[in-house]
Amino acid sequence: MTPPRSDPDTGKRDVILDAALELFAERGFHGTAVPLVAERAKVGAGTIYRYFESKEHLVNALYRREKQRMTAALADGFPFDQPPREQFHVLFERAIAFMKGNAISVRFLELHHHAAYLDAESRALEEHGNALVEAAFRASIAQLAMRDLPPALLVAIVWGVFDGLLRAWSEGRLELSPAVVAQAEQCCWEAIRR
């Protein structure tokens, strides 16, 4: 029942990913030297190559981990049975909460979105998130709660607003107090509701 082994380095892979996350989010993939990741992870440079075949494999592993964490944070236990407005409220709150607790992850995902060095699997994951939200939106449209517009358009609008909020917040141009978040949610809802 307990982890079968000593465990001291069970986390070494994650320690490396954590270090890479901070640095890639800050300086980009090409702007980050592998030895720097090693130093930040307090690990020998060679060690990284025990866990990842190459620097590209490292970003891809990281991209997947973060994308999945974010998708899980938004989708796990999502109340599909609630009315559309309530579903939207939950989605919005979760997104804001994830953003505030994982600013670096979000910055990383945004910066590496559609990068040339992401492989097929990572790209597939990109689709996946969108598809989930699109499905939910499609249901809301069917229930006549959202405008009858291309779901891709509605998704683009909502993601776009999140992105705008993230940037304004992380650049210090906007404070995300509960009041502002509530207002932002209402604005966003007005944009897409029927």
Partner DNA sequence: AATGAATGAGCTTTCATTCAT
Partner DNA sequence: CATGAATGAAAGCTCATTCAT
Which residues of the chain form contacts with its own copies (CB under 8 A)?
26-31, 111, 113-116, 130, 147, 149-150, 152-165, 167-168, 171, 173-174, 180, 183-184, 187-188, 190-192
Residues 7-26 touching DNA, rule: CB under 7 A, are: 9, 12
Q: Which is nearer to its own copies, 35 or 83 (CB)?
A: 35
Residue-wise DSSP of 95-146:
HHHHHHH-HHHHHHHHHHTT-TT--HHHHHHHHHHHHHHHHHHHHHHHTTSB
Provide CB contacts within 8 A for 140, sequence distance 6+: 84, 87, 88, 146
Q: Which is nearer to its own copies, 10 or 183 (CB)?
A: 183
At closest approach, how far in Å is the CB of 39 from DNA? 8
Q: Which of 18, 22, 56, 126 binds DNA (CB under 7 A)?
A: 56
Query: In angstroms, what CA-CA distances link 2 with 5, 6, 7?
Result: 8, 10, 10
* 35 is an interface residue for DNA by CB under 7 A: yes
Query: Sign (positive/negative) of CA torsion 126, 128, 129, 135?
Result: positive
CB 67 within 8 A of CB 109: yes
The listed partner (its own copies, DNA, none) that binds 122, CB under 5 to 8 Å by sort, is none
At closest approach, how far in Å is the CB of 40 from DNA? 12
Query: Sign (positive/negative) of CA torsion 170, 74, 127, 26?
Result: positive
At closest approach, how far in Å is the CB of 112 from its own copies? 10
At closest approach, how far in Å is the CB of 18 from its own copies? 20
Binding site for DNA (CB under 7 A): 9, 12, 30, 32-36, 42-51, 54-56
